[in-house]
Amino acid sequence: MRKFTRASSLVAVFVASVLSVMGAAPYAGAEAKPAATVQPQKEQAGYTIEVAGVRYSPVQPKAIWAACGMNDPVGKVVRTFPRNGAPGAGGNSNLLCGTEGFGYRHIKARHMQDWQNLAGVVGSDWRSFTDWAVEQILKAPEPGSPVYDKARDTWTYRAPVQIRDSNGRVVDTYRPIVAIANQDQKIITAYPAR
């Protein structure tokens, strides 16, 4: 009987694991996430988002981001973005795994939901949309951008992100911030702002 019980337990754990991976049920011991963070944003029919005349498409090829696991080093490069404007009038900025204070880990912990709220307007996910927005903002910053912040020794890049209705009218505008370190040009943070 003991072998049967152990086998039954193993089968039950296996089935629960498979269902968990498929999203059908949480696996044993998993923390339940609040419904608000699990449910995807509904796409608002007919809306588009543009930065500097470039329209976002959720079906465009996605840039590859390196994984940032718990044990990956702070300096691991997640993605390199081309940049126009100061510092150095162009070049590249790296998004590093970082810490709670900068880079991918910071953006994910502090600003992921902000990006998801904006991405949900066009039925996208936060990571794909953030990648596209950061790339467009660094390639085509608004006039007068970037601005140097002496206290933080960073450059702040901004550009209007316009949400348009099905008739092409601008119904909302954000001006996300992408902060770049002056010394090594790494990305400190990126978040939607008004």
- Verify that 14 and 63 share a domain, yes or no: no
What pLDDT sits at residue 19? Answer: 33
Is 178 or 37 the better-scoring residue by pLDDT?
178
Q: Indicate if 43 and 77 belong to the same structural domain.
A: yes
Nearest CA to 91 among 8, 153, 182, 20?
A: 182
Q: In this structure, is the dihedral angle defined by the CA atoms of residues 69, 74, 76 and 82, taken in order, positive or negative?
A: positive
pLDDT band at 45 (very low <50, low <70, confident <90, very high): low
Same domain, 28 and 38: no
Domain ranges, residue 22: 1-32
**In whole angstroms, what is the distance from residue 174 CA to residue 129 CA?**
14
Arithmetic mean of pLDDT, 137-151? 93
Q: What is the pTM of this model?
A: 0.73
Q: Does 10 share its domain with 87? A: no
Q: Are residues 48 and 133 in the same domain?
A: yes
**Residue 3 to residues 7, 12, 56, 158, 193: CA-CA distances in angstroms?**
6, 14, 57, 64, 60
Q: What is the pLDDT of residues 152-178, one digit of tens each?
A: 999 999 999 999 999 999 999 999 999
Judgement on whether residues 40 and 28 belong to the same structural domain of the protein: no
